[in-house]
Structure 1
Amino acid sequence: MEGDLLIGIILFFAGALAGFIDSIVGGGGLISLPALMLTNMPVAMCLGTNKLSSVFGSGTAMINFAKNKLVDWGFVKRIMPFTLIMSMIGAYIAVYVPGTFLKPLIIVLLLAVFIVVLTKKDWGAIAQVERKTGWKLIAYLAMAIIIALYDGFLGPGTGMFLIFYFLFMGYDFLGASGNAKVLNTVSNFGSLLVFIYMGQVNYGYGLAVAVGQIIGATAGSKLAMVKGAGLVRFLFITMSLTMLMKLTYDYLLSLGII
């Protein structure tokens, strides 16, 4: 009984920190997922339980960004159905197929994102959004579909990839973060439905993390709106580097190199 209480407390605080970071720039899974791994649940159940808490965290941040009119509903509502479906497909695959072979690709992509944002110092400071029609709209839709599939299948870095995706379209860091939270919430929800169907969710642990996520996401999203794009850019670079180092270490460890 005492052991369960201690685990619950650890998960709560891990969720609060994860929600805080994730609500601003993504990457909260770096904190919440390892915390859930401490419970010795199977990997698939840890992923499903993490999705349960992530829905609450990203959903809370989404509401706060939306209240402050930092969501372009005209565009994201077109992508939401595709995001939902592809995240469900990705989650279904994740139950049966290990995502190890994708890690080298994710490391390369994350490195590219990190370099671009680091070197383009004025990128994301001012919104310069152009209309998305024709082939350009199809290309953006295809990119969103790939990110949603990845989120359901593996997940690490999804929030950052979504922010980069919206920065690429001309949104500033705050707008990119707000839009990213909408799609991230949808993809989290879609993959959660599959994990629930497959019986891969521990509701007790998931809700312990979720309560923390709600508190952390509320604080994080409000801080981002007060401090502006400068804070979001700084944390984006910091979390990108942290995730890049973590994924590279894990991959080299799995190969027996270190």
Structure 2
Amino acid sequence: MPGPEVLLYGLPLAFLAGFLDAVAGGGGTITLPTLFLMGLSPAQVVATNKLLAIFGSGSATWQYWRGGHVERPLVLRLIPLALTGSALGAFLVRFVDPAVFRTLVGVVILAVGALVLVNKRFGLEDRYPGLTTRTLALTLPGTLVIGLYDGFLGPGTGTFAMFLFSLAGFNLVRSSGNARTLNFATNLGAFFLFLVGGQMVWWLGLSMGAANALGAFVGARMAMLRGSAFVKWVYGVIVLLVSARLFLGG
């Protein structure tokens, strides 16, 4: 079991993860390796990461919600599907080796990132048409698939969700707000599942969770202040981080 000295690097890295995750997702690409570096078992890493993640995603969600950057009528319809998909993904992981499609997902997220970054206007303007048939036909099954992926593998869930909301017509700031809200719901659901297992290192998860929440607060405020162009730049960084983790494994 690690001692308090690990917080010397754990807290600043948790803050950075919260900041990046609040802007464009992908915070787990920082916190998961950090927890492994501390010497925790794989079960402790996953459970403790969910504990700290609910603080960061909750902080970001609250900021975007207060700022009016969450499309509540749509997101509240999508949360049950995200939770259902996440639970199904957690069940399927017992029967399928995640390494089978880890590389494939890495290629897909690189392609998604390239599409967002190459198209100069993508995500910069808000063109959301409301709760139309097309919107629901895109977001309902898309959220189920993203939730399933979150429960099954995880890295880049928020990044994929941002892309889905951008396709639905939201600018990248509102896409981030919607994605963080969905991510908070799935993190909370996973937290209660892992709570039963008793693998959480509470003192570590709570202290890093506080730093993660502070980073998320700053990140969400920065995203709303600087706008979609700033979010798009951070999105590109996150795509590279998530892809590297998928290709390298772990």
* TM-score over 0.5 (shorter chain): yes
1:67-115 CA-partner distances (Å, limit 9, x unpaired): 1100000100001112123223333444776522230221121011111
Separation in 2, partners of 1:42, 1:92: 21
Residue 168 of structure 2 is aligned to residue 194 of structure 1? no
Partner residue in 1 for 2:178 = 179
Q: 1:95 to 1:20 in 2, by over 3 A?
A: farther
Partner residue in 2 for 1:246 = 245
Query: Taking every aligned residue pair, what percent have the same amino acid on both sides?
Result: 34
Q: 1:35 to 1:94 in 2, by over 3 A?
A: farther
Residue 202 of structure 2 is aligned to residue 211 of structure 1? no
Deviates more, 1:210-219 or 1:87-96: 87-96
Separation in 2, partners of 1:199, 1:89: 21
Deviation at 1:138, TM superposition (A): 3.7
The one-letter amino acid paired with 2:162 is I
Partner residue in 2 for 1:27 = 26
1:11-60 CA-partner distances (Å, limit 9, x unpaired): 22221110011000011111111010013222232112111111110110
The one-letter amino acid paired with 1:47 is V
Contact 1:87–1:188 under 8 Å retained in 2 = no
Separation in 1, partners of 2:189, 2:63: 21
The one-letter amino acid paired with 1:116 is L
Partner residue in 2 for 1:74 = 73
Partner residue in 1 for 2:168 = 169
Runs of 4+ in 1 over 3 A off after TM superposition: 91-98, 131-136
Deviation at 1:149, TM superposition (A): 1.4
Partner residue in 2 for 1:223 = 222
Q: 1:192 to 1:98 in 2, by over 3 A?
A: farther
- Give 3-state SS (helix, strand or coil) of 1:53's partner: helix
CA RMSD of aligned residues (A): 2.0
Deviation at 1:242, TM superposition (A): 2.8
* TM-score where L is the length of structure 1: 0.90
Partner residue in 2 for 1:16 = 15
Separation in 1, partners of 2:54, 2:92: 20
Deviation at 1:229, TM superposition (A): 0.8
* TM-score where L is the length of structure 2: 0.93
The one-letter amino acid paired with 2:194 is F
Partner residue in 2 for 1:109 = 108
The one-letter amino acid paired with 2:157 is T
Partner residue in 1 for 2:63 = 64
Partner residue in 2 for 1:100 = 99
Separation in 1, partners of 2:82, 2:22: 19
Q: 1:135 to 1:174 in 2, by over 3 A?
A: closer
Contact 2:138–2:168 under 8 Å retained in 1 = no
**Runs of 5+ in structure 1 lacking a partner?**
none
Deviates more, 1:79-88 or 1:127-136: 127-136
1:124-171 CA-partner distances (Å, limit 9, x unpaired): 111111234446524421110111111122211111111101001010
Contact 1:94–1:153 under 8 Å retained in 2 = yes
Separation in 1, partners of 2:182, 2:147: 8
Contact 1:91–1:195 under 8 Å retained in 2 = no
Contact 2:127–2:169 under 8 Å retained in 1 = yes
Residue 46 of structure 2 is aligned to residue 50 of structure 1? no
Contact 2:44–2:199 under 8 Å retained in 1 = yes
Deviation at 1:63, TM superposition (A): 0.4
Contact 1:65–1:178 under 8 Å retained in 2 = yes
